[in-house]
Amino acid sequence: MNKTSPQLRRRDFLKSTSVAAVAAPYVLPSGLLGSAASERLTFGVIGVGGMGGGHLRDMRSRMDRGQAHIAAVCDIDERRLENASRAAGPQADVYRDYRYLLDRSDIDAVIIATPDHLHALQTVHAAESGKHVYVEKPACCTIEEGRAMIEACTRAKIAVQVGTQGLSHPESYLAHRYLVNGNIGRVQRVDCWHYPTPAGGIQPDREPPEEIDWDAWLGPLRWRPFNPGYLHGTFRWMMESGGGQIRDRGAHVMSLPMYWLEASGTGPVSVEATGQLPSRGLWDSAVTMNVTYTFKDPDWILTWNQPGQPVPPEERTGREPGGRITLPGFGAVFTGDEGTFTNWGHGLWSERKAREWEPGPDDRDVYRSPGHKEDWFEGIRTGRPTIANVHLGVDVAILTILGNLSFLLRRKLEWDQSTREIVGDEQARRLMGRPERYPWVI
């Protein structure tokens, strides 16, 4: 991989920033600490704002307990990198370019929490460097990216965990157990609801701030002038770098039926979407959207409805596990031939009847995740597939991609899961991938 920016040693980086006064007077090379505690895994964190900042704080807590070692942090925003350097500690080197971090032979695994359009690129490059990967959802922005992720991660035999954390929540386990034991009969449809995507991005283009490496932020995307409407966070409302609510929260919500109904490895035979584009502003993902996914063998329907028909949140007492439902604006209703079941949020809150159901001696148990990162660590150590492995993560991301493509093309698409290809529509097939800008290529 061609690299364009050098490593920034933490001491040198801090001398050039406002945090120089609090820099440690002596910095041990990160590899020394890693080798001294060979039982611990050594990590790098790529993308340290938002979710990445949360992951970094979590890993620092684990490091303080002797469970992990943070060797390096990376971001294209120097202000975020300053904060990350403080949070990670003096042993962690800092980088603007993730490719230098991946060159480190002492790093066992990376956490990737960059904007969506960088997920597949950085995952493939991490796999090629032999590093295990925790990557935030959605796994990819194009179908070709997803296929490249599966190929690279399978070939490298690494443990991949996609950040659909709700799958590892205790109430997700209860929902899975409740459904597979036929408590609502055979599930015939799952209807997801979500509030609309916002419209916005109305400021003019301008020069990027000094702390932002705009070229690196764009990465594989076509070059375009900087606009504050693209970042941070708001990248998800652009089709190129995000894809709207269906890709942001849809990756969470739709992972639940794919896992609970044990449909991982399957795919729809057709996808049909309608919706409305924003009437103003820079953001170009659907404001409202309805998508129908038709599955065969077994036959069932999955729908994404934005806004759909929300189910009012269940009343809970303060003593109940999981507490008050704080994200009732999205969720899913499972309809079987013998009843219904509702989940709110993304696996965190399951309907009371699933929580209170007591299995009998002949009922089937299911996997209970010890926690999303703990499940990943176990996958690293044992080679066991993770709960949100690369195949599940990519296939859920592809559901969101197909929904957007059907919406943009305004027609039904036919899908072949065995080859992960759109069939019978050459125009749509050309949109399964997109050109990549050198040197950010898979």
150 and 175 belong to one structural domain:
no
Structural domain includes residue 373: no
57 and 183 belong to one structural domain:
no
Question: Cα angle vertex 391, ends 125, 187, to 5°?
Answer: 155
Structural domain includes residue 386: no
The domain containing residue 64 runs over which residues? 7-166
What is the residue-wise DSSP string for 389-427?
-HHHHHHHHHHHHHHHHHHHHTS-EEEETTTTEEES-HH
What is the residue-wise DSSP string for 332-392?
EEEEETTEEEEEETTTTEE-HHHHH----TTSPP----S-HHHHHHHHHHH-PPPTT-HHH
146 and 190 belong to one structural domain:
no
246 and 343 belong to one structural domain:
yes
The Cα–Cα gap between 197 and 306 comes to 8
The Cα–Cα gap between 103 and 143 comes to 27
131 and 187 belong to one structural domain:
no
Structural domain includes residue 41: yes
The Cα–Cα gap between 436 and 259 comes to 32
Q: Are 361 and 140 in contact (CB under 8 A)?
A: no
Structural domain includes residue 439: no
> Hey, what are 113's tokens?
């929490």
Position 366 scores a pLDDT of: 98
The residue out of 136, 166, 196 marking a domain boundary is 166
Position 319 scores a pLDDT of: 76
179 and 299 belong to one structural domain:
yes
Query: How far, rounded to the nearest angstrom, does the alpha carbon of residue 298 sit from its chain's CA centroid?
Result: 27
Position 40 scores a pLDDT of: 85
The Cα–Cα gap between 217 and 215 comes to 5
The count of structural domains within the chain is 2
The residue out of 148, 166, 184 marking a domain boundary is 166
Q: Are 291 and 386 in contact (CB under 8 A)?
A: no
Structural domain includes residue 375: no
Question: Cα angle vertex 207, ends 203, 213, to 5°?
Answer: 115
- Return the DSSP state at 64: H
Q: How would you write the pLDDT of the chain (442 residues) with one tens digit per residue?
A: 444 444 555 445 544 443 332 232 223 333 333 333 346 899 999 999 999 999 999 999 999 999 999 999 999 999 999 999 999 999 999 999 999 999 999 999 999 999 999 999 999 999 999 999 999 999 999 999 999 999 999 999 999 999 999 999 999 999 999 999 999 999 999 999 999 988 899 999 999 999 999 999 999 999 999 999 999 999 999 999 999 999 999 999 999 999 999 998 899 999 999 999 999 999 999 999 999 999 999 999 999 999 999 999 999 877 777 788 999 999 999 999 999 999 999 999 999 999 999 999 999 999 999 999 999 999 999 999 999 999 999 999 999 999 999 999 999 999 999 999 999 999 999 999 999 999 999 9
Structural domain includes residue 382: no
146 and 179 belong to one structural domain:
no
174 and 141 belong to one structural domain:
no
> Hey, what are 439's tokens?
């040197």
The Cα–Cα gap between 30 and 28 comes to 6
Three-state DSSP class for 176? helix
The residue out of 166, 186, 216 marking a domain boundary is 166
358 and 264 belong to one structural domain:
yes
CATH number at residue 244: 3.30.360.10
CATH number at residue 119: 3.40.50.720
197 and 338 belong to one structural domain:
yes
Structural domain includes residue 318: yes
257 and 398 belong to one structural domain:
yes
If 0-12 CB within 10 Å is exposed, 13-18 middle and 19+ buried, where does residue 405 land?
Answer: buried
Whole-prediction pTM: 0.92
218 and 314 belong to one structural domain:
yes
Structural domain includes residue 355: yes
